[in-house]
Chain A
Amino acid sequence: MTHLSEEERQGLADGTLSFERAAIASAHLATCDACAADVNRLRAVVRRVSSAPASAADGHTDELWPAIRARIEERKVVPLPVAATTRPGSWLRERRAWMLLSAAAAIVIAVVALQRARTPSPSPTAAATPVPKVLPSSAATVAPASANTRISQEEIQRLLDEVEMQKAMLPPGRAALADSDARAIDQAIAELRDALAHDPDNPALRQLLAEAVQQQGDLIKRMRNGS
């Protein structure tokens, strides 16, 4: 009697044999105890291996997270605030993140304003007490305007990329909810950047762009919470 080849036995064990060959091979198993026992043994191995647990739930990998986070932080342009370990009180963390984003945008505004001569604002048509200008409150390090523009553009791009990443991690229904918001904000940012390209000295435009960037950051946080 001719026994089954190794290919046929392995193919029967993992179900990869073609329909016709499987039928012929199965017919042989009905008449050959040795081949039948061997194929069953292989089937048991395939079943056991393919149902191997995905992981051992021993918490060991939790210990690796701090080192991973540290390596990631080293690679970032703008470091995120320190993460709180418990949710109560994390509104402080979110608030610091908001202030950080506002400060980044405000640096652009402050530096461009310092670099160029300010054009006099139109005199109010009402006879009223002169109103003082409102400067951004978080202006900090002075740096060349071009460098800070780069920071702003990079920050915007980083946020856009993170929106896409967060959407990818949401279940489909929730991703759709976020999509409409993301599109509205993207469009606003695009219009503002276009307007700023034609009128870079306009402080109101710069502030509006900072607000739109803030909205982007808020949306990312909402999506994180929804995933």
Chain B
Amino acid sequence: MDKKMMAMSTSMLILKLLEEEDMYGYHIIRKLEERSNQVFSLKEGTLYPILHSLEEQEAVESYEKCAETGRMRKYYHLTKRGEKLLREKQKEWEAYEKAVRDVMKGGVSFAL
């Protein structure tokens, strides 16, 4: 997939997954691959700067929880601000997607 498109959509997809449940990094990557039939297979380390930057924007918050294996997991939780950001990103994406579809359809459109 094109890198620019990927970058535009990754944070939206992460927020969407976190809307369903709190997750840790590795879990997010696996879920992303599983849901997209391996289309979204990013370099895994790049997920963390995105998560940390979303945390900086107060879109997500983190907490730690010990796994059964004894390994400490850092879970991310979507905040109210994150929900709002997700809605905005979804709108932007839909507008982008519609524009691409309109162009690909061909023909002429007139603004009324």
A, B assembled together: no
